[in-house]
Amino acid sequence: MPQSGGVTGHVGYDVSLMNEYEQGSGPNVIWDAHIAVPLLETDPDQCLAGLHLEPCECSLSGTALCERLFEYESMPELPEVEIFRQVADSCRGRAINHASIADPGILEGIPAQDLERLLKGEYLRSSRRHGKHLFLELSGAGTLAMHFGMNGSLKLVSEGEPDPSYARLQLYFEKGDRLVYVNPRRLGRVSLAENAEAFIAETDLGPDVLDAAFNSHAFEAILASSKRDIKSVLMDQALMAGIGNIYSDEILFQARLFPGTAANQLKGKRATELFRAMRKTLQSAINSGAGSEQGVERLPKGFLLTQRHPGGLCPRCGALLETVKHGGRTGYYCHRCQPT
């Protein structure tokens, strides 16, 4: 039986990252024995077709592997990235003694040697999150923009502690501790931008869904502009930034809405209720310490997230959860609490 990994969280995926797997560059995986999600590289004969823990004859590759992998893989969304922002913010005002980039492949637009040179002697002025992106404003060199791909994270590691697995970039401070960008799948990206506003404009990101300026009227206007299903609209980063496959399911469950409901059908009171459910759900996840084992345990009892897996039961009525595909994504919902 394969070794169990250290990640014990919820599951989801981002279709924008799928091409690397379809082109054959994605890693092979094994299943975590506790929560049945793919975590580590392993032998290509390992079963990838289902939740089998031993090698078998049903291994998959290409698009079939991709669909299975991205159904179960964890991806940081707004609540997780907000936790990373809080980690980064604890280092505000500190000087970077030097930077170490173990994997230049995670960088966009700048060679590793140039970035290491620019970062030396800088200090962290502030941190900001917009959607699923984290921005670290530097004293003079610009702003580090981070996206965490799948299973990525940001850790503060004390002096003398070993490097975390899959450490790709490390910012060493004057006292020896370091801020570490971790990315198992190598699907996350780090770049150097002029500032957060320039990056947001260049990448066509919509408003952050927890921004105070993004109110229920702006939210309803977005819904009114689209005939697509509400799950797809919630996940469209060009319309509103921060929500992915996992939290769109949770938000719709809390709002008692079927994922296939046309967005432009939600008006007035229904749109306002969904907006409030979105805000409350995301803030509850942040307050629980989203993405950690303790965070999952501390989620409100009525959250769908802990049952969001094959065979999961509705936390309200006990019905078997059903799945539905929207835009290539697998969503979970309760047919009783979220009727069509």
SS3 226: coil
What's the one-letter identity of residue 163?
Answer: D
Among residues 72, 70, 50, the alpha carbon closest in space to that of 62 is found at 70
In the chain, the DSSP E strands lie at 96-101, 107-108, 124-130, 133-138, 143-147, 153-157, 167-173, 178-182, 189-193, 322-326, 329-333
Q: Within its chain, how far is the Cα of 229 from the centroid? A: 21
Sheet containing 178-182: give its strands across. Answer: 96-101, 167-173, 178-182, 153-157
d(CA 49, CA 164): 29
Helix segments in the chain, DSSP class H: 19-22, 62-72, 78-89, 112-119, 196-202, 216-224, 230-235, 245-254, 268-288, 293-298
CB 308 within 8 A of CB 316: no
CA angle 142, 146, 152 (to 5 degrees): 155
Sheet containing 143-147: give its strands across. Answer: 107-108, 189-193, 143-147, 133-138, 124-130
Residues annotated as catalytic are: 76-77, 132, 329
